[in-house]
Amino acid sequence: MWFSTPRLLVGLYGLSLAAVGSSAADVDFMSVRPTVAKEYSGKGGEPGPKYFKESDFHYHYDGRFADKPLSEDETVPHLSELIRTYLSTMEDLGAETWIMHGTLLAWWWNQKIFPWDNDLDVQISEPTIHFLADYYNMTEHHFEIPGVEGGRTYLLEINPNYVIRSTDDKLNVIDARWIDTSSGLFIDITAVRKDDERRERGDPGALMCKDGHRFDETEIFPLRNSYFEDVSVKIPFEYVRLLKKEYGSKSMTATTFQGHHFNDVTEVWDKQRKRQFWRRQPVDVPVRTTPLGPLLR
């Protein structure tokens, strides 16, 4: 079956896909769409056990590929390559994908990843997740990256519970991951599905994700072509409305966030060095080195 265990796959390294150019020669969405793209409805099955696990050291690292988080300086460059390789792979496969949530907000500000971020959110449509599961689950994609010796290998892993179409499947809200095997960082990929319940109630464009987010087709489609981290990316049609709905108006206007300040000249989020005077300075607390006497213990 296509959802073999990931550990086994790491062993099958040589068998998987490799290199950027090669994927274009393989199956793309357009050529096989009649076999995958059809109407999906119903629950699809009972909720399953949790498939994607987070590492014990950080919720946004895949524990199979790392045992510690990256340093702050290394994180953003890794994430940048992560999204660039993902977007270019999906483009090669003809698989439509677009950014959402925090990544869309970061795009709004300066089309770059937030310096404090350690996750990325992208969405795909339901036919696309079926296509990726049928043809590209557990494929490895090797990229040569300037300044990175030996390049990096990325793994596309589909959650086998993607066939379950209900928000009751609470442990499997993420449908797929694009994983940087060098660092354990990954992108959460969620499929946007037709919302049967709301459509029955007379809402023809109703969409939903297993993570509980609800959309309308007119909010997302037709997608716009823009740029993120200097590569082309698709953006939901009503991006301002979606961002306002999810994060409120201030998220698109307030220039101070997560200890960073948006510099309107350089258009970059600068880390705030000095703390605001009204906030209490963190004090270096003296640490005892000699053990306490036995009486006190």
Partner 1 sequence: MASTHQYHHDTESLDYSSDGSDDVPFLPNAINPSRRVKRYTRPLIEYVRNEWQSNTKYSGSSPDRSEIPGWVQMVMSIITAPRFRRYAIIYTTLFISCLLGWEFVLSPRLKEHSELTKSLDPNSKEKVGGWYGTNALPSFEGVIQLKNLDPSLLPAREAPGPGKDSSRRLIVVGDVHGCRIELERLLDEVTFNNKTDHLIFTGDLISKGPDSPGVVDLARKYSASCVRGNHEDRVLLVRQELAEVDAMTDTSGDEFMDGLSTSGAQKDLKLARKLTDEQAEWLDACPVILNVGHIPTMGQVAVVHGGLVPGVDYDKQDPFSVMNMLTIDLDTHLPSSSRDGKKWTKFFNAHQSVAYKSTKHADSQATDTQATTVIYGHDSKSSLSIKTYTKGLDSSCVKGGKLTAFVITDGGEQQVIQVRCDNYLGE
Residues of this chain that interact with partner 1 (CB under 8 A) are 30, 33-34, 37, 94, 96, 107-111, 125, 127, 194, 199, 204-205, 217-218, 220-227, 232, 235, 237-241, 244, 249-250, 252-256, 262, 264, 267
| Shortest Cβ 246–partner 1 spacing (Å) | 14
Peptide bond preceding 222 in cis form (omega within 30 of 0): yes
Euclidean distance between CA atoms 58 and 176, whole angstroms: 19
Q: Which is nearer to partner 1, 66 or 220 (CB)?
A: 220
| Shortest Cβ 28–partner 1 spacing (Å) | 11
DSSP three-state, residue 28: coil
| Shortest Cβ 258–partner 1 spacing (Å) | 13
CB 8 within 8 A of CB 103: no
| Shortest Cβ 221–partner 1 spacing (Å) | 3
Q: Which is nearer to partner 1, 38 or 170 (CB)?
A: 38
List all residues 6 or more positions away from 70 whose beta carbon is below 8 Å from its beta carbon: 78, 183, 185
Euclidean distance between CA atoms 131 and 141, whole angstroms: 17
| Shortest Cβ 293–partner 1 spacing (Å) | 52
Rg (CA), the chain: 22
Q: Which is nearer to partner 1, 151 or 205 (CB)?
A: 205
Q: Which is nearer to partner 1, 17 or 268 (CB)?
A: 268
For the packed helices 239-247 and 101-110, what is the interaxial angle rounded to 10 degrees?
120
CA distances from 279 to 123, 163, 256, 260, 282 (A): 39, 49, 15, 15, 9
Q: Which is nearer to partner 1, 107 or 178 (CB)?
A: 107
| Shortest Cβ 139–partner 1 spacing (Å) | 22
| Shortest Cβ 236–partner 1 spacing (Å) | 10
Q: Which is nearer to partner 1, 138 or 206 (CB)?
A: 206
Decide: residue 23, CB within 10 A, 0-12 exposed, 13-18 middle, 19+ buried: buried
DSSP three-state, residue 232: strand
The 8-class DSSP code of residue 201 comes to T
| Shortest Cβ 255–partner 1 spacing (Å) | 4
DSSP per residue, 13-72: GGGS--SHHHHHHS--HHHHHHHH-S---S--S------S---SS-TTB-TTT-SSPPPH
Q: Which is nearer to partner 1, 69 or 205 (CB)?
A: 205
Q: Which is nearer to partner 1, 95 or 179 (CB)?
A: 95
